[in-house]
Structure 1
Amino acid sequence: MHDLKDKTLPAHSDGLDRLSLTPVPLVPEIRLHLAVDAIVWWARMEAEAGQALTTPFWASAWAGGQGVARYVLDNPEVARGRRVLDLAAGSGLAGIAAGLAGAATVTANDIDPYAIAAVELNARANGVTVTGRQGDLLDGDGGDADLVLAGDVFYSDEMAERVLPFLRRAADRGARVLVGDPGRDYLPTTELTLVATYDAESALTFIDAQLSRINVFQLGG
């Protein structure tokens, strides 16, 4: 599944819900194929498919991912020469930032095959190499990744219960773990050290309109 548009775009589009190659608000150095309104676009996809489809998290630039990407580009030494894992990658924004910062390798992981297709398409649009890896990695520890990037992964209780132990295991084996979050309810309040804060006003989608700051944290040492 390498041609995202051939596989996911509705047969007709009025421009409101079309995927467009767009600069990311907080990280304008990076352009992603995004839906203007991901919910409308998703509804159109489902209507044309005649069945329920997986939520297209990859069709939006989530606030926490924007924060992690901004931090990596502003501090390229954190990624330069490292093996990077972009966890629950969605559009692949954080991993693309790591590639632009000079990472040795970048792997973007997501359970959604459409997300993997989106990652590959977006990486090509930004001139970097990112390897997509589909599947659930949360019972592991990130393998040989030196740097684990987790943008907006604490959006539900169920997700938080699985992600936090994974990130702990990655940190315990020596990986640097960076978490981007705009104030989700399920963000753990301990174990995280704040490393950067960004104004979220210009970066948020309509679903996050009530949020004002995007924080980037490091887990562990």
Structure 2
Amino acid sequence: MSDSPLNFAWHWEDTLIAGKMRSLAAASDPDGMLLDACRRQDEGEEGVIDPFWATTWRAASGLDRYLDRVELFGNRVLEVGCGTGHAGIAAILRGAEATLTDGVEDPLNLVRLSLSRLGLKADVRVLRLGEDKTGGEPFPVILGSDVTYLRELWPGLLATADVELAEGGQMLLSDPQRVIGNEFREWIKDKPWEYHEELVTLEDDPEHPIRIMRLMRG
């Protein structure tokens, strides 16, 4: 679509968000984008980041569903590693004031398109875990879907939460019960955080529920 700020093919994807089907801007060929990134890395190109954000992961749907249990109306919410923005948009639709962030600009352009189509407003900006700060008041809720898939991300995630999470707030993370998610659960045991875990079942694959990891300062 030539009228967009994106340098890759994209389309509108009907997605169940906050209980209704809504259109999200999504990359049309995420597998091809990943293969291209791997090729460029193999050729020695610097600064190439794997575009895992290009896919709407099931973990975002699980986090969306879990938000029915969270008091969001009138609350400020920060989403980290937002990708297509599914979880953050779900929070906005439940009455939250949201800041949606990712470590690179491309997914944020998708998010801006989706927000415009849905008639929603949010602060959308680059935030690299452990490096950048929003510069505003801390958030009562931080959201992250599929942001624990790399061990290298864990210290930055907690560093960002240390700065951005308000006292008494909670960070809600989701993953499809990957083995590395189990490792994250063990890794965080000796950190100053309380960890609680719940499961959310989705209709598309009830035999593989999504794990919700709820973290609060210890």
Q: Aligned pairs, how many?
A: 199
2:131 is the alignment partner of 1:128: no
Q: What amino acid does structure 2 have at the position aligned with 1:88?
A: G
% same residue: 24
Q: What amino acid does structure 2 have at the position aligned with 1:116?
A: L
Q: Is the 8 A contact 2:99 2:124 kept in 1?
A: yes
Structure 2 partner of 1:22: 13
Q: Aligned Cα RMSD in Å?
A: 3.3
Q: Distance between the aligned counterparts of 1:196 and 1:98, measured in 2?
A: 19
Structure 1 partner of 2:57: 62
SS at match of 1:98: helix
Q: Is the 8 A contact 1:84 1:148 kept in 2?
A: yes
Q: 1:80 aligns with which of 62, 73, 81?
A: 73
SS at match of 1:7: coil
Q: Is the 8 A contact 2:138 2:164 kept in 1?
A: no
Q: Is the 8 A contact 1:200 1:214 kept in 2?
A: no
Mapping for residues 148-167 of structure 1, pairs under 5 Å: 148-167=142-161
Structure 1 partner of 2:7: 8
SS at match of 2:13: strand
Structure 2 partner of 1:112: 104
Q: Distance between the aligned counterparts of 2:153 and 2:93, measured in 1?
A: 28
Contiguous gaps of at least 5 residues in structure 2: none
Structure 2 length-normalised TM: 0.74
Q: CA deviation at 1:84?
A: 0.8
Q: CA deviation at 1:168?
A: 5.5
Q: Distance between the aligned counterparts of 2:22 and 2:199, measured in 1?
A: 19
SS at match of 2:214: strand
Q: CA deviation at 1:201?
A: 4.6
Q: Distance between the aligned counterparts of 1:118 and 1:100, measured in 2?
A: 18
Distance change in 2, residues 1:141/1:215 (3 Å): farther
Q: Is the 8 A contact 1:95 1:106 kept in 2?
A: yes
Contiguous gaps of at least 5 residues in structure 1: 10-17, 204-210
SS at match of 1:173: strand
2:130 is the alignment partner of 1:138: yes
